Structure 1
Amino acid sequence: MGKKVFLMWVILFLISFSFVNVSISADQPPGLSRGQMIYVPSYSHIYIGNKERFLLLTITLSVRNIDPNHSIRINHVDYYETQGKRLKKCLDKPVILKPLESYRYIIAEKDQSGGSGANFMVEWASEIPANSPIVEAIMIGTQNQQGISFTSRGRVIVLDKK
């Protein structure tokens, strides 16, 4: 009789625990957010060969609202150099992206100020929970009839709000 009672308590505990998890996330489905800060690695140049020669790159920052039903607001887009100093404030005022709309910002190939550790910080927001945008940098460059291109996807970061 004791084993059956114990087993019943274990089952009830596990069932109640699983309902708690469901109710915690039920108000906002996974992947939806009201806003985030996104770090996007980029490269104004990359090193080639053994002598630390570098190849200059054009950077295109792409922010894509992948939510088919809701607009999002891009509040800030800032461009930083390798040592973390902000080089450019890329937006004068917030930009609204309608469903499935995209925004782009270009750093010219001749602008090597960002260095090999350049990056963007992108802050977006929404009045209601929306799908997080895809934010990536596309780098492309050519030298001596050869070309290189690659992408770098942004990563959500959490800011310490003291």
Structure 2
Amino acid sequence: CAAEATLVPPTPRPDQERVQIADLEIVTGQTIYVPAYSDIYFDTNKSLDLAITLSVHNTDLAHSIVLTSVRYYNTQGQLVQEFISQPRPLGPLEAVDFFVPPSDEAGGVGANFIVEWGAEQPVYEPVVEAVMIGTITSLGFSFTSPGRVISQTGTVGE
């Protein structure tokens, strides 16, 4: 049952600093739309449940970025879950992932994530993508869905 499924936020690192958005002087950032699929149709009325891993990779070699929001929406555009409750810094070349188990059917075939990030200096933009995996009988498969920038603040890149 979708109401009983538990979405899994990332485990915080013990050394992870707490960041308050009011303490940041954001000069650049983006809002990124990431299509995801918690299930897909393989016949007219039959669908296959998929596991989703949303990955956010800071590609900058020298500077941190800060995730300010990671939201998961269903096919109807309704919020299913906010994955972070406070800003989450990502150091140079650091990555973080967010997992939606295949037992969660709340997202549907039109699920998506909205990821918002910022930085206190110009940085190279992160790579944000969803990886979906599933199995049917003895066959396993996977595919990715890249994020798309839908709004931007300041200059990205150096």
TM-score band, normalised by the shorter chain?
0.7 to 0.9
Percent identity, aligned pairs only, is 49
1:156 alignment counterpart: 149
What is the aligned partner in structure 2 of residue 138 from structure 1?
A: 131
Q: Secondary structure of the residue that 1:75 maps to in structure 2? A: strand
Q: How many angstroms apart in 2 are the aligned matches of 1:158 and 1:129?
A: 16
Taking structure 1 as the reference length, the TM-score comes to 0.76
Amino acid in the other structure paired with 2:76: Q
- Aligned with 1:123: secondary structure? strand
Cα shift at 1:92: 1.4
Alignment counterpart, residue 47 of structure 1, candidates 41, 50, 53: 41
CA distance in 2, matches of 1:52, 1:70: 48
- Paired with 1:52 and 1:37, the residues of 2 have a C-alpha distance of 34
User: Highest Rg: 1 or 2?
Assistant: 1
Cα deviation, 1:11-35, whole Å, max 9, x if unaligned, reads: xxxxxxxxxxxxxxxxxxxxxx810
For the residues of structure 2 that align with 1:145 and 1:53, how far apart are their CA atoms?
17
| Selected match of 1:102 from 77, 88, 95 | 95
Detail structure 1 runs of 4+ shifted over 2 Å in the superposition: none
State which of 69, 85, 93 in structure 1 corresponds to 2:78. Answer: 85
Report what 1:36 is aligned to: 30
Larger RCO, structures 1/2 (Cα 8 Å, 6+ apart): 2
Looking at structure 2, the residues matched to 158 and 133 of structure 1 have their Cα atoms a distance apart, in angstroms, of: 14
* Structure 2, unaligned runs of 5 or more: 1-26, 153-158
**Count of aligned pairs between the two proteins:** 126
